[in-house]
Structure formats: C-alpha cells, structure tokens
Structure 1
Amino acid sequence: MRITRIETFLVAPRWLFCRVETDEGLVGWGEPVLEGRALTVRTAVEELAPLLIGRDPLRVEDLWQVMTKSTFYRGGGILSSAVAGIDQALWDIAGKARGVPVHELFGGPVRDRVRFYSWVGGDEPAEIADRVAAQVEAGATAVKMNAIGRKRAVASNAELDAVIARAAEARSVLGPERDFALDFHGRMSIIDCRRLFPWLAPLSPLFVEEPLVPELGHLLPQLAEHGVPIATGERLFGRHEFLPAFTAGISVAQPDISHAGGISEVRRIASMADVWGVQIAPHCPLGPIALASSLQVGFSTHNFLVQEVSAGIHYNAGADLLDYLVDTSVFRTEDGHIPRLTGPGLGIEIDEGAVRAADARGFTWTPPVWRDDDGAHAEW
C-alpha cells in the first residue's frame, strides 16, 4: 500500500481537515490546524506531502520521524500542527487496514468510557449559573469556563473578587459531586495567581488551566504549593517542551492532539506524564477528527483524566462538532461519559461531500486583539 494523494480542506468554523488517500482505496482523515493560522498550516502540510507520496502509510512512526526531522530547523506550532493532522490520518488508515479502532493497536482499551467536560463560557459571567445548570441537565458531570475576561496587567481587587464569585457560583450549581475547571488563558500575572489561589482552594476546582503564559512556566513552582491543581500544555508542542512543566509540579498535562505532533507524540507525552504522577486531559476546542483522535488516546491511556468536548462552544459559529459526520451517534454521551468508539481507525466516518462543500465556501477566523484601558495590548 502506498500514499497517493494528500488534500486539505478549510472548513467552518475555524478548522482544517486533511485527507490521505492510498492506492488500495483506504482513506485516512486528520485535523492539522493552529487556530488563527489555518492557511499557514495548510501550506506546511503541502510542503510535507512530497515526503509522504509513494510511501507505505503503515510505517507511521518512521513517517513521523521523517516529517519532524527532515529539515535542519525543527519544531514550532505550525510544523507540529501540520504533522499532527497527517499523523492522525495515518493512524486512521492503520486501524482501517486492520479492521480495528486505533486504541486496539496500542494494547487495547484500559477503560470502556471516557469522562468529558463541556464549555460554559465565562468571559462575561452574567449567565454562568444558567449555563452550568443547562450542562448538568444535559448530563455533564464537569464543565469548564473562563476565569476572567479582559483585565489589566495586575488585577484589581474587584477583578480577583469576580473570579472567586464565578467559581463559587459554579460550585453552588454543581454541588460537591460534580466538577468545574477554570481557564485563565494565560491572562494572569504571577502576583495575581499568588493572591488568588488561596481563595480558590476551598472551592476545589478540578484544575486551573494556563494561569500563566507558557513562556513564564519557570514561575509555576511558586503556585504548586497552594493545593490548587495546575493544568497547562495547549501551547506546548512536544514532549521536550512538557518536561519543564512536569518538573514545575503541574497536576494535569493538556497536550492538543492537533498541535502537539498528533496521536504519536501525545501518547509519548502521556507516558512522560505518568513518570511524574501527572494526569492528561487533552485540549480539544476543535472538530470531530481531533476529538476522535483524542478519545483513541483516552481509551488506551491509564493516566487519562477527562476530555474536552467542543459541542456548543462559542467559537462554533456556522458549524458545530457533528456537522461533518455521517453518523453522529458515535459521540453519544451517557452519564457524563462518551462510550468507547468501536469502529475501525479513528472510529468516525467523515461526510466528504459536506467537507468539500464547506471548503468551497471557506471561512475567516482570527483571534481578537484586546487592549487595556490605557491602550496597551492585553492577553486574549
């Protein structure tokens, strides 16, 4: 079997899909995208394609090594996202060629279902209680929300009080048996976090996500002592970048399977995390291929905590998680969990006609630019 063609598709709301075709008729799908840089990643996939055409798609590890190490300059979000999507597609082919789901190729399942969490917003907290209650009514046992919206460089007392009020409101709706996570999106300063964490601890968040931007990861040890689980990793693109976070004392690693080198590398990151007693909770505010790929890791990885699911997330304007699937029941939920996918490959069937039609329409999505009250750039 040989790879004969690699195509990419820009699909709303902000996703990039890739299709890897073989001379035996097997097709694999992947999701190589870096939000806001889809066109750039598309070019990177096109540049990688000549390394793959004519090669055996079942030599997944060898192809991963060639893609990541065939040039003198390596790494970075663009290249690792391009590799990630192709890697997903290769594993999809590998499973289909053998008639088994991808997790069967990793030693079989270690669990029968994966717990998930849903997004409930939080930039503007006016309706946070209603949104949490709606997710509970829909069967979710965990939610995540932004801890704070646009803020000044060092938070005011009022801004910090608002974070605690959001968290307390979520806890009051969820009760002690369900969980919430707070996403700081790297918007906090180290002094903000040191002031805030002692107040958050009694509310028992499942984790706080990206309290600091990745380039300030060397400061994370100052926060680990407060008893609030720290999660990070959506902007780390390989196992070597995760090592400092592990040594800093994080509790939860959040590699993104469409950014951090795909299924192959995320499994390696999970193995490293296990050495440090760290759980993984893959970041996934993306589409159905990224979710299916993340779930295949979750079904076969013991130190797996919870899976992010993007259905209904505010980014999904014009298309949502299930819109490009032939059979949407593969992502059915039961008691806050997604049952094990049993179909071959990634376990999903992409509606190729819908994907091609979406690509013909295209989309435009760029991250917003925020500014402080004084006009200086603020972290989004």
Structure 2
Amino acid sequence: MKITGIETLHGDGGYRVCSYVKMTTDEGIVGWSEYYEGLTGVSVTPVIRDFAKVAVGMDPRQVGRLSESLLATTRLSWGGLAHQAVAAIENACLDIHAKSLGVPVYALFGGPFRERVPVYWTHCGSYRVRHAAFYEQELGFEPVRTLDDFTRLGREAVAQGFRAVKTNPVFFDRDRPYMFNGGFRIEPGFLDRSISDHQIGAIVEQLDALREGIGPHTGLMLDVSFSQRTEGYLRLARRLEPLHLYWLELDMRDPEGLALIRQSTRTPIASLEGLHGIHDFRPYLVQRAVDTAIVDPMWNGVWQSVRVATLADAFEIHVAPHNPVGDLANLMSAHFCAAIPNFRIMELRPDEAPWTRDFLTHPSSIENGEILVPQRPGWGSDIDEAALKAHPPRKAR
C-alpha cells in the first residue's frame, strides 16, 4: 500500500478553525486526523504540505518507520510546528493501518485497557469569558459575569456527569471579566510572568465559587499554563493547598525547577503538554517533576505518545492527554487513553460549536462523564466532507 495524496481541509469552529488531514492510498483506504491550526498564531498547514511531499509514496502501515523518518529530517529544527506536522500525518497513517486490518486504532497497541474513558470539562467558564461574544450572541449561553456564574457552571458540570472540571484564572477588576494571560500571548505584562498576592487571592475566590457548585467529590483543577516563573508557581501552589485540587496545571522549560515545585507543595502538579517526543519528556520524568504527565496526541502523534506513556509508566507516573479541540480529536484521544495502562483522566471541551459534531460521520458518545471508546475500525469515524464544506472557515477570533 502507498500514500497517493495528503491534503488539509478546514471548517468553521466558531471562535476557531477546525482542521483535518485527509490521506488517500492506492488501495482506496482513506485516513483522517485532526490537528490544531493557528493555536500559536502561526499556521502548521504549510508545514504539513511540505512533509506530505516526502510522505507520498511511503507505506502508511509502517507508521513508526514513517514517523521516525520524517522526524529525523527535523533534527536541526526539533519540536514545535515541525513535530506537530509530522504528528498529523502519523495519526492519519494510524487510521489507515487500523482500517486495513479491520480493527480500532487501540488494537495496534495491545488495547483496550478500558472501553469507557472518564473525562473532565476543560476551560470551564474561562473560555466563555475569553470568547464571550461567540458563546453569548451565537450560542445563546448565559454570560459569565460574576463568581456566582462559576458556581452555576459547576452545578451544570455535575448534572452532566463530569468527574472533574478545570478552569483558568478569571479576574473581575475591570468593567468586564477577563481571562488571565497564559504567558504566550502578546499583551501588556505577559513577559513579566509575575503574579500578585491580590491576584492569587482572586483565584482562590474563583475556585471556591466553582467548588461550591461541584461539591466536595468532583475533582477541581486550575490551569495557569506558562504564566509564571518558579517563584510565582510556588506561591500559588502553596496558597491552593487547602482547596485539595485534583491538580494544578502549569508549564515551564526547567525540569529541576518543576521538580522543586512538586517537592515543595502538597498540591498535585500536572504538566508537560508542550513537549515533543520521548527525548523532551525524559529529563522531567527522571526528575519525578510531575504527578501527572500531560501528553498531546495531536502534537506528538498517537504512536509517539504511546511511547512517551510507556516511558512514564517505567517511572510510575500517570498520563493524561492534552485535548482542547474538536470531536475527531476526542476520538483520537480516547484511543490513546484506551491503549495505555497508566491513564489518569481525559480532557474534553463540551461547549464547542455544536455544528462541529456534524463534521464526523460517527460523533463521539458521552455517557455519565465517560467517553465511549469507538469499536469501529480506525478512529471509528470519518469526516463528512459535505458537512465540512457547508461550514467554511471564517477568521478565528
């Protein structure tokens, strides 16, 4: 079997663009994958197209060989968009390989370890603040204007069966609430990465409001991304100890610094979503720098992500996927979670634009806070190109 073509397709995701790779073969099997487009403000699509020129003519069933061969060409520009482009191609190859055998993707890795995967509501409330016009004017959701609205959303999450919720800092000291800068968007003060005691106090109030809504038995998480340096993370983690978080999620490029934070607080630490490949993960795992290692199957590729999870398992560390995008990505993450023994919990955004589910021939199924792992061959769904064309992309906001 040979790859005959690789193209990228896009659709309207509301405040973002939904992006997919379509891979065709000389035997008529089509493979799909979802990828992030423009998350950092820079497009990965041209990089995918460049790697596609190399991948065409290769056998998509030799997933590891193809992935490693493409990554070998990036040794002077490791990680970043290059790795993400290879991952998008790798994931489409996995879909084809599994379809050629008539099995789900997880079966390629000896799974499933589980048929149902517990999920948590990610960016709960915070994205409704960040993209208020979309959620309020287009989807008709109630606005998030006060701490009481976080309590309301917490009750909504529990009613939907979620095992945990994760939010980002939201502050209310201006005319309108705003989401705290994660440390990677050009805004005033974003290079300082320094948090005040007043802001930490406001975060505690926000989490208290959310806890009131979810109750004592639902997990509570906070994600502050790359927003702080070691000192700021330490002050925040220690201040949050009485809240008994499921985890505090943070990112930094210093294994020793991250290990120091974990060793200096009772708050569980989750991190590493921005890393690419086992070589990037290794120093953090050796340092036992995290309680939960977050791996992105769309940025690493599911085959490469399973390798990272295996390495983490050798250090007795749980793994959770980074998965803040669309429904095909949900299915891809579910297969990853089903394929590894040291899985913790899966990220899911339940308030995406509802029409994006129509892009899939078989959308995901969520029951009682769990996603059902598809049993159909491949990822368990193809992309409905007619539905995608009916929603052409607009400029992401």
Q: Matches of 1:94 and 1:156 in 2, distance apart?
A: 51
Aligned residues: 355
1:7 partner letter = E
Q: 1:43 aligns with which of 42, 46, 62?
A: 46
- Structure 1 residue 62 corresponds to structure 2 residue 65: yes
Give TM-score scaled by structure 1 length.
0.87
Which residues of 2 match residues 1-380 of structure 1 at below 5 A? 1-13=1-13, 14-36=17-39, 40-71=43-74, 73-119=76-122, 120-122=124-126, 126=147, 127-148=149-170, 149-150=179-180, 153-210=193-250, 213-225=251-263, 226-246=265-285, 247-260=287-300, 262-313=301-352, 316=353, 321-328=356-363, 331-358=364-391, 361-365=392-396
Q: Matches of 1:292 and 1:167 in 2, distance apart?
A: 30
| Secondary structure, aligned partner of 1:155 | coil
Which runs of 4 or more aligned residues in structure 1 lie more than 4 Å from their structure 2 counterparts after TM superposition?
A: none
Deviates more, 1:239-248 or 1:3-12: 239-248
**Superposed displacement of residue 355, structure 1:** 2.5
| Secondary structure, aligned partner of 2:367 | coil
**Superposed displacement of residue 175, structure 1:** 2.3
Q: Matches of 1:71 and 1:195 in 2, distance apart?
A: 38
* Counterpart contact for 1:95–1:345, Cα < 8 Å: yes
Q: Name the counterpart of 2:140.
A: none
**Superposed displacement of residue 363, structure 1:** 3.0
Q: Name the counterpart of 2:136.
A: none
Q: Matches of 1:53 and 1:118 in 2, distance apart?
A: 38
Q: Matches of 1:92 and 1:272 in 2, distance apart?
A: 24
Q: Matches of 2:389 and 2:7 in 1, distance apart?
A: 10
Unaligned runs of 5+ in 2: 130-145, 171-178, 182-188
Structure 1 340/59 Cα, relative in aligned 2: closer, same or farther at 3 Å? same
* Counterpart contact for 2:34–2:88, Cα < 8 Å: yes
Give TM-score scaled by structure 2 length.
0.83
* Counterpart contact for 2:331–2:373, Cα < 8 Å: no
Q: CA RMSD in A?
A: 2.1
**Superposed displacement of residue 71, structure 1:** 5.0
Identity over aligned pairs, percent:
30
Q: Name the counterpart of 2:134.
A: none
Q: Matches of 1:321 and 1:118 in 2, distance apart?
A: 17
| Secondary structure, aligned partner of 2:6 | strand
Deviation per residue, 1:236-286 (Å, 9 max, x gap): 1222111232215201111111112x1111101101111222111101111
Q: Matches of 2:380 and 2:105 in 1, distance apart?
A: 8
* Counterpart contact for 1:207–1:228, Cα < 8 Å: yes
* Counterpart contact for 1:2–1:23, Cα < 8 Å: yes
2:69 partner letter = V
**Superposed displacement of residue 114, structure 1:** 0.4
* Counterpart contact for 1:34–1:78, Cα < 8 Å: no
* Counterpart contact for 1:32–1:86, Cα < 8 Å: no
Q: Matches of 2:307 and 2:103 in 1, distance apart?
A: 21
* Counterpart contact for 1:256–1:282, Cα < 8 Å: yes
